[in-house]
Structure 1
Amino acid sequence: MTESNNHCGYAAIVGRPNVGKSTLLNRLLGFRLAITSHKAQTTRHTILGINTLAGGQVIYVDTPGIHQRSDNAMNRYLNRTAKTALADVDLLIFVVDALSWNSEDEKVLTLIKQVETPTILAVNKVDRIKQKERLLPYLSELSSRHHFIEIVPVSAKSGRNLDTLQELVLRTLPEAENFYPDDQLTDRPEKFFAAEMIREQITRRYAKELPYAVSVEIERFEELSGLYRIHAVIWVEKAGQKGILIGKDGQALKEVATQARKAMQQFFDCKVHLELWVKVKKSWSSDEAALVRLGYGES
Structure 2
Amino acid sequence: MIMKQKTIFVAICGKPNVGKSTILNKFLQEKLSIVSYKPQTTRNSIRGVLTKGDVQVVFVDTPGILNKPKSKLQDVIVKNAWNGMSEGIDLACFVIDGENGLTHSTLELAKSVRAKIPNMICVINKVDRIKQEEFKFKTALKIAETGLFDEIFGMSATKQQGIDEVLEYIMSKAKEDRWFYEEDDLTDRPNALIASDVTRETIFNKIKDEIPYGVDVITNIFTFHEGYIEIAQDILISRKAYKPIILGSHGSMIKAIRVSTTKKLEDFYETKVNLELFVKVKEDWLEKVKVD
Q: If the TM-score is normalised by the length of the shorter chain, which range does it land in?
A: over 0.9
3-state SS of 1:147 partner = coil
**Which residue number in structure 2 is paired with residue 205 of structure 1?**
206
1:26 matched to 2:50? The reply is: no
| Deviations 1:169-219, CA, capped at 9 Å, x for gaps | 111232223221111111012111111111011011123112211100011
1:249 matched to 2:250? The reply is: yes
**Which residue number in structure 1 is paired with residue 93 of structure 2?**
93
Counterparts of 1:187-266 in structure 2, within 5 Å, are: 187-266=188-267
Cα distance between partner residues in 1 of 2:230 and 2:114: 47
Counterparts of 1:60-99 in structure 2, within 5 Å, are: 60-88=59-87, 89-99=89-99
Cα distance between partner residues in 2 of 1:270 and 1:77: 34
Cα distance between partner residues in 1 of 2:247 and 2:183: 42
Q: Which amino acid aligns with 1:62?
A: D
Matched-pair contact (CA < 8 Å) for 1:86–1:117: no
Change in Cα spacing, 1:108 to 1:173, as seen in structure 2 (3 Å) is farther
Counterparts of 1:141-156 in structure 2, within 5 Å, are: 141-156=142-157
3-state SS of 2:210 partner = coil
Unaligned runs of 5+ in 2: none
Q: Which amino acid aligns with 1:279?
A: K
Change in Cα spacing, 1:159 to 1:17, as seen in structure 2 (3 Å) is same
Deviation, structure 1 residue 115: 1.3
| Deviations 1:235-284, CA, capped at 9 Å, x for gaps | 01111111110111111111101110111111111111111111111142
Cα distance between partner residues in 2 of 1:103 and 1:281: 38
What's the RMSD between the two structures over aligned residues?
1.6
Matched-pair contact (CA < 8 Å) for 2:55–2:174: no
1:184 matched to 2:185? The reply is: yes
Matched-pair contact (CA < 8 Å) for 1:43–1:63: yes
Moved more, 223-232 or 234-243: 223-232
Matched-pair contact (CA < 8 Å) for 1:122–1:151: yes
Q: TM-score normalised to the size of structure 1?
A: 0.92
Unaligned runs of 5+ in 1: none
Matched-pair contact (CA < 8 Å) for 1:10–1:60: yes
Q: Which amino acid aligns with 1:7?
A: K
The count of corresponding residues between Structure 1 and Structure 2 is: 288
**Which residue number in structure 2 is paired with residue 8 of structure 1?**
7
Cα distance between partner residues in 2 of 1:179 and 1:28: 18
| Deviations 1:123-182, CA, capped at 9 Å, x for gaps | 1111112x2111112211101113311001111111112111011111123222322111
Q: TM-score normalised to the size of structure 2?
A: 0.94
3-state SS of 2:218 partner = strand
Matched-pair contact (CA < 8 Å) for 1:226–1:270: yes
Deviation, structure 1 residue 68: 2.7
Which of structure 1's runs of 4+ aligned residues deviate more than 3 A?
3-6
Cα distance between partner residues in 2 of 1:217 and 1:58: 29
Q: Which amino acid aligns with 1:181?
A: E
Change in Cα spacing, 1:222 to 1:5, as seen in structure 2 (3 Å) is closer
**Which residue number in structure 2 is paired with residue 139 of structure 1?**
140
Deviation, structure 1 residue 70: 2.0
